[in-house]
Amino acid sequence: MKPAPFDYVAPKTVAEACAILSEAGGGATVIAGGQTLMPLLNLRMSQPFILVDVNHIEGFSGVTRVAGGTRVAPATRQAAALNDETLARYVPALVRALGHVGHHQTRNRGTVGGSVALGEPAAEMPACAVALGATIEIASVRGTRTLAARDFYIGPYMTALEPDELVTGIVYPDWGEGHLVLFNELAQRPGDFALTGMVGALALGGGKIARAGLAWMAMGPIPVAMTEAEAALVGQSLDAIDVAALSELALRTTAPFDDHHASAEYRRTVGKRLFEKTLRAAAQVKEAA
């Protein structure tokens, strides 16, 4: 099939892009990498009358250090982020997860901001943003605002982004030198969306866990923060935690679903084992260090 007719615009500034989105009254769609959007257009599951290409906006790609964190511009290619030295040093969980996003070919076009803004509940980038406590920068003709990633997702492919708003950056806060990265997922094939998975980070101080950020993939209608497990981890020694009890707490925030890939019960069962395996592996890594 071919997409329905649409107009194409390539604004050069954020202000120009926001003006177009505002004037379109909900009839415009932003394109960056297009890895999800193009198939939807071809199947006519998405029929915008204006396609707004943000790839030509100055400063819309790249990684920079900001006060207390690392900022990723929304049109930054996933392949570029995967090989970025700043991200490798300050946001290693993001880099670890990026290696599981799609395939080499799709990462050359796919963008970090596009994945975060789409909010696929089984994808790695939205879960990373939630787990690490990222902040989403948003602009419109009405001004700018920031929103915590944990408040950004409200339903399957539904976010708090208004039709006239544009994601202009994602800021990942620092977790400190030597923090532990947690990542594990199960997919039918490498590059597929996760059947279940988790990502997160643990900051250590004085031999105890000072801060915890954990999120599930494919365990609910949105990326699911493991809020109860996070709270239970803080203040504990990594080698003394009750992993089985923590896995039960981690599952309490989930709402897994049945689909043609896996049942909700399968996701609960495998997710619990995956969580326990990942926590135990993190403790072993710390002991070896």
Q: How is residue 81 written in tokens?
A: 């982020």
**Residue-wise pLDDT tens digits, 55-114:** 999 999 999 999 999 999 999 999 999 999 999 999 999 999 999 999 888 999 999 999
3-state SS class at 29: strand
**How far apart are alpha carbons 137 and 161 in whole angstroms?**
10
Give the pLDDT of residue 149. 98
In this prediction, residue 42 has a pLDDT band, given cuts at 50, 70 and 90, of confident
pLDDT higher than 60, residue 289: no
Burial class of 27 by CB neighbour count within 10 A (0 to 12, 13 to 18, 19+): middle
Amino acid at 128: C
Q: 254: which residues sit within 8 A by CB, 6+ positions away? A: 216, 219, 220, 224, 267, 268, 271
Residue-averaged pLDDT of the chain = 93
Residue 6 pLDDT class (50, 70, 90 cuts): confident
> HSE of 209 in the Cβ direction (CA atoms, 13 Å)?
24
CA pair distance 102, 77, nearest whole angstrom: 12
What is the end-to-end Cα distance of the chain in Å, rounded?
55
Task: Express each pLDDT in 106-160 by its tens digit.
Answer: 999 999 999 999 999 999 999 999 999 999 999 999 999 999 999 999 999 899 9
User: Per-residue pLDDT averaged across 40-50, rounded?
Assistant: 79
Rounded distance between C-alpha atoms, residue 120 and residue 116, angstroms: 8
Q: What percent of the chain has pLDDT over 70?
A: 98
Which pLDDT belongs to residue 140? Answer: 98
* The pLDDT of residue 207: 85
Q: What is the pLDDT of residue 286?
A: 65
Proportion of the chain above pLDDT 90, given as a percent = 81
pLDDT higher for 120 or 49? 120
Q: Which domains does the chain have, with CATH numbers?
A: 7-56 (3.30.43.10), 63-171 (3.30.465.10), 180-288 (3.30.390.50)
Q: What is the pLDDT of residue 224?
A: 98
Distance CA 113, CA 97 (A): 14
User: What pTM was computed for the model?
Assistant: 0.95
Give which of 79, 88, 59, 69 is closest to 171, Cα–Cα: 69
Residues 113/76, Cβ–Cβ less than 8 Å: yes
